[in-house]
Amino acid sequence: MILGLGADGWHGRIRRFGASVVLVFLVLFAWLRLTSTQGIDRFGNGLAPDFSQFYVAGQLAAAGEIGRIYDETLFSSRVNALFGLPKEADSYPFLYPPFVPWIAIPLPWMPYPLVASLYLLAMMALGVGLAWSIARHCLLDRDEALDAVWLFVAAIPTVRCLLYGQNGMIALAAIWLGFLAWKARREGLCGLLLAAGAFKPQLFAGVWLWLILFGSHRARAGLALGLLFWAVLGCAGGADLWKQWLDVIAHVRDSTKLQGQMHSWLNAFDWWRPWPRSVEVVRVVSWLLLIACWLATLGRLWRQGGIAAAETAFYLALGGWVWLTPRFCQYDAVILYPALVWWWNRSHGTHLERVWIICLLTGFYFGDFFVMIKLPLLTIIGVVILISQCFRIRHKT
């Protein structure tokens, strides 16, 4: 596919690639479900295992036990019981803010296999719809827009989101619908939509900063009101729940379960720990320099002013922060899609840059190989593209 960048068969290669991945995914998913035993497939995973956390959180909230949501032993035993596993089986703690269980209360009204299957279908439809909307906005050529959609549906982060029942599509919807509301000059609604990202604040900090810099007073008010609503809702189960949540996420980085799964610049090299103090200094200093470069470029766009500068800043704020945030997992990469398609549209004159962006769009296919050689190559590519875009913007402005 990459060798055909300048050939007439470019569009056909991308679509055949995308269709092949989708077909493999559907066959694999059907096989795993048909051969599962008590909801557990041959790889030891339950149906939409990450979504099961929301289901159990809704159960605890409905039963008046939300005060114990961050009790890892209790929560893990409830998740395991959902799949008929022993209480002591390995599981993840609940890492979402304390308002999330209240949103999830309706989920236990239906049997878990049914609600998980409906969730999967809904996320499939939402993902395709978002991919098309974003591609048509960023790419004027219809064929290129279709290419981008096929690359999105064939991306490993997309497949992982669907296969494991993750919520990346919901995060992407909040970001993109918020941006469209801003474009339509409904800035209060934009702020409210972006505030919905409070369920994963580490991924939304970039677009929140963008809204504060480039949004109107109404947009900032919408964001503030939305965040205040979630903060108050989170106190409904007890004011100390926010403190418990902060304690949980403060220690999650030390969990061996997550080692090697973080793909931001700050954590992507954790495979090499322990390392000399000099390496730690280089890692932290380089991260701080990246943040400084990113912030300086956003500042230049803010001083320039205008709708065009604000739109460019949106993609920079979104794409840049994903690589800079301390917690960025593989499936979270779906929210990079708007920034990558935007940058793809701006890279027509540079085939090599297009190859990099396409590698990120399809993303992480060689993750196991990179783990073996302890080199987070896709993180490095992402940071190189970020630096390239920052210098390009600074040069033009």
| 4 has a pLDDT exceeding 50 | no
Report the pLDDT averaged over residues 176-201.
94
- CA–CA distances in Å: residue 342 to residues 137, 200, 329, 384: 9, 23, 22, 16
Specify the DSSP class assigned to residue 240.
Answer: T
Q: Please give the pLDDT value at position 319.
A: 87
Q: Please give the pLDDT value at position 237.
A: 78
| 332 has a pLDDT exceeding 90 | no
Q: Between 86 and 243, where is the model more confident?
A: 243
- CA–CA distances in Å: residue 331 to residues 108, 180, 280, 328: 25, 23, 27, 8
Buried b (16+ CB within 10 A) or exposed e, 65-101: bbebbbbeebbbbbbbebbebeeeeebbbbebbbbbb
Task: Examine residue 274 and say whether the peptide bond preceding it is cis (omega within 30 degrees of 0).
Answer: yes
Report the pLDDT averaged over residues 371-391.
76
315 Cβ contact list (under 8 Å, min separation 6): 338, 339, 342, 343
| 252 has a pLDDT exceeding 60 | yes
Task: Tell me the percentage of the chain whose pLDDT exceeds 70.
Answer: 82
| 261 has a pLDDT exceeding 70 | no
Tell me the C-alpha distance between 342 and 350, whole Å: 14
DSSP assignment of 155-186, as one string? -HHHHHHHHTT--HHHHHHHHHHHHHHHHTT-
Q: Point out the least confidently predicted range of 163-167, 296-300, 316-320.
A: 163-167
Tell me the C-alpha distance between 116 and 19, whole Å: 24
Report the pLDDT averaged over residues 178-195.
94
Count of all residues that appear for the chain in the document: 397
Tell me the C-alpha distance between 242 and 238, whole Å: 8
Report the pLDDT averaged over residues 267-283.
74
pLDDT digits (tens, 9 = 90+) for 67-80: 888 888 888 888 88
337 Cβ contact list (under 8 Å, min separation 6): 130, 131, 134, 152, 172, 361
pLDDT digits (tens, 9 = 90+) for 13-28: 777 878 888 888 888 8
Q: Please give the pLDDT value at position 170.
A: 95
Report the pLDDT averaged over residues 154-178.
89
Q: Is the dihedral of CA 138, 354, 370, 320 positive or negative?
A: negative
| 6 has a pLDDT exceeding 60 | no
Please, is 284 exposed, middle or buried when counting C-beta atoms within 10 Å of its C-beta (0-12, 13-18, 19+)?
A: exposed
| 256 has a pLDDT exceeding 50 | no
| 110 has a pLDDT exceeding 70 | yes
Tell me the C-alpha distance between 343 and 148, whole Å: 12
Tell me the C-alpha distance between 182 and 207, whole Å: 12
| 277 has a pLDDT exceeding 90 | no
Q: Please give the pLDDT value at position 343.
A: 81
Question: Structural domain boundaries of the chain?
Answer: 110-396
153: number of Cβ within 10 Å = 18
Report the pLDDT averaged over residues 279-298.
89
pLDDT band (50, 70, 90) for residue 206: very high
Report the pLDDT averaged over residues 337-353.
71
| 366 has a pLDDT exceeding 80 | no
Cα(first)–Cα(last) distance of the chain, in Å?
35
Q: Point out the least confidently predicted range of 51-65, 254-268, 286-300, 334-348.
A: 254-268
Q: Point out the least confidently predicted range of 79-83, 233-237, 257-261, 295-299.
A: 257-261
| 255 has a pLDDT exceeding 50 | no
Q: In sequence order, what are the beta bridge partners of 37? A: 40
Smallest CA-to-CA distance from 167 within 102, 230, 95, 60 is with: 95
| 355 has a pLDDT exceeding 60 | no
- Sheet strands (E) in the chain: none
Q: Please give the pLDDT value at position 253.
A: 53
Q: Point out the least confidently predicted range of 206-215, 264-273, 345-354.
A: 345-354
Q: Please give the pLDDT value at position 193.
A: 96
| 185 has a pLDDT exceeding 50 | yes
Specify the DSSP class assigned to residue 274.
Answer: S
| 2 has a pLDDT exceeding 60 | no
pLDDT digits (tens, 9 = 90+) for 30-61: 887 777 766 677 776 777 788 888 999 999 99
Q: Please give the pLDDT value at position 158.
A: 87
Report the pLDDT averaged over residues 242-270.
70
